Amino acid sequence: MWRLLARRVARGAAGAPGLVRSCRALGAVGAGRGAAVGVGAVPLGRGPAWGGPVHRPGGLLLPPAWPRLVPCRCCSLPAHQKVALPALSPTMQMGTIARWEKKEGDKIGEGELIAEVETDKATVGFESLEECYLAKILVPEGTRDVPIGAIICITVEKPEYVDAFKNYTLDSAPSAPPAASVPPPQAAAPSPPTPLSPQAPGSSYPPHMQVTLPALSPTMTMGTVQRWEKKVGEKLNEGDLLAEIETDKATIGFEVQEEGYLAKILVPEGTRDVPLGTALCIIVEKESDIPAFADYQDTAVTDMKAQAPPPPPPLVVATPPAPPPPQPAVPSTPAVPTAGPPPRKGRILVSPLAKKMAAEKGIDLAQVKGTGPDGRITKKDVESFVPPKVAPAPAVEAVPAAAAVAAAPVGTFTDIPISNIRRVIAQRLMQSKQTIPHYYLSVDINMGEVLVLRKELNQEVSDNIKLSVNDFIIKAAALACLKVPEANSSWMDTVIRQNHVVDVSVAVSTPAGLITPIVFNAHIKGLASISKDVVSLATKAREGKLQPHEFQGGTFTISNLGMYGIKNFSAIINPPQACILAVGSSEKRLVPADNEKGFDVASVMSVTLSCDHRVVDGAVGAQWLAEFKNFLEKPVTMLL
């Protein structure tokens, strides 16, 4: 009844002042259900008494300062609805209007998309709850850092109301930030007005879409454009690989979401530390629109220049400061050229893995010939590279031995640039050690029965599957987490989340750094399935081909250094998880036995459980280790 009366008041207010008075009276009568927000505003009775935002299904959020209908403006404007930016994720504070799906004057059906909003997690579309017409867009496409609750558009019930909002502006509501999120260029003197930003609608550019750098991992803040897979002018199909982006975790392919044509590349290959949300390229629907963007520039990326992956810095040689003794004159000798090809000039195309390997081996990438696409240097090129031999120098007159000793280097070192992955690893490990109260529990496990069972099963399974001891450890850990669910929990600041499934993160060492791909639902998988997953994930991790969903999350982590002969060690917890298991190597030990000798030789493995004392008490951690030990010493129980 309230809504019906409010609509009647809104529609007839221009010619019936009495209705406005009735509306104000009703606002006073309804004060017991919720105070009127504006002069003559009609409370809908849907929001909380404190006047907070009204949450409605479908993602629309009505801010407290504006009710759904605003009769106080009825004298000049028809009935309308102010649509506010909703909170589309639990951690969202601001959003970016990535694209408007409707234009001013278009009809919006119930359930149709109004716009696409880029949040701190992903790009999400939000829908209309009822039929209406889009009367005015208040926040243009590309506007960044729009706060939650900001009015982004106006909708009306009838198409004839649209023209009334042609010159509408928000005079009392807080205005949205400007479309360009970067500071304007410095100006020493007044200059003639510049054209509108390319992002602003209504400019001279044809309809287009700016593709921005998305967050490809939860901890990603910047990325590196490693390679563009498409060139300007090429047709893009849905699902095509557009570019390769190096994140803080791995190098990930960035796919096209819809068909179009690549009109302009804004961020060149090799550009490093590109902030999230930066426009990467321009896509248009029609091929004929491509020439219009030949001189297109985005203010957010004009200062970005392609940075070639730097070659390893030259060795710094320390020499003693003592002055050299007098020496007889030696005729100068011209530099002897190397036998190999001359170093390449210009930007060098190289994969992240090849770059890392070259830095570790001290190889100058300028001397390596790439065999990949467009001369790209790959891992194979670095592995097969043979340094060119230096031609022997012509004999020169002998110099005193003391001078030769003085010229010998005393010490050398090499500065290796910190990669994005290594920087994030350092930040998260420091955060873990500084904020999580670690404690450690160790136990020795007799692995005799596991080794016997492994040998028997490997004889039964196919040749392409070889079960490892690590597969048994993953299965036993997953089942122990079901027995002691407190260890399969996460600290979430306000709550402790106890997980009902066991997703085991397995630490894998790669040339770029440590990464933890996940064996999902390890508690219900067989040993053969776990073995296949581990082999596949480890291969992808070392090649840098892991997808974000394959390493994001996990409920329990295992780090195994037994293959390196490490007897025992203590691992650092991977937040927000509560536990991580450090596995050492097996060794032969004498153990008490009920036989004539009184002892026996057994293969014993040491493990150490690191626990977060905020989540897992000492007794609970000990209980988990007891269950884990029981599963491995009696592996038949894993079948129960």
Report, as residue numbers or ranges, the catalytic residues. 613, 617
Structure-derived torsion over alpha carbons of residues 322, 327, 332, 337, reported in degrees to the nearest 10: -50
Q: Is 484 helix (H, G, I), strand (E, B) or coil?
A: coil
**CA contacts within 13 A on the Cβ side of 85:** 31
Question: Within 10 A of 68 (CB to CB), how many other CB atoms are there?
Answer: 20
State the amino acid at position 27 in one-letter form: G
- Pair of tokens at residue 561: 């250094």
Q: Is 525 helix (H, G, I), strand (E, B) or coil?
A: coil
Element (H, E) at 440: strand 438-446
> CA angle, 337 as apex, 331 and 342 as ends, to 5°?
150
Question: Within 10 A of 460 (CB to CB), how many other CB atoms are there?
Answer: 8
Question: Within 10 A of 344 (CB to CB), how many other CB atoms are there?
Answer: 15
Q: How far apart are CA 625 and CA 640, in angstroms?
A: 19
Q: Are 134 and 105 in contact (CB under 8 A)?
A: yes
In Å, the largest CA–CA distance within the chain is 115
Q: Is 399 helix (H, G, I), strand (E, B) or coil?
A: coil
**CA end-to-end distance (rounded Å), the chain:** 62
CA 55 to chain centre: 29
- Pair of tokens at residue 551: 């390493």
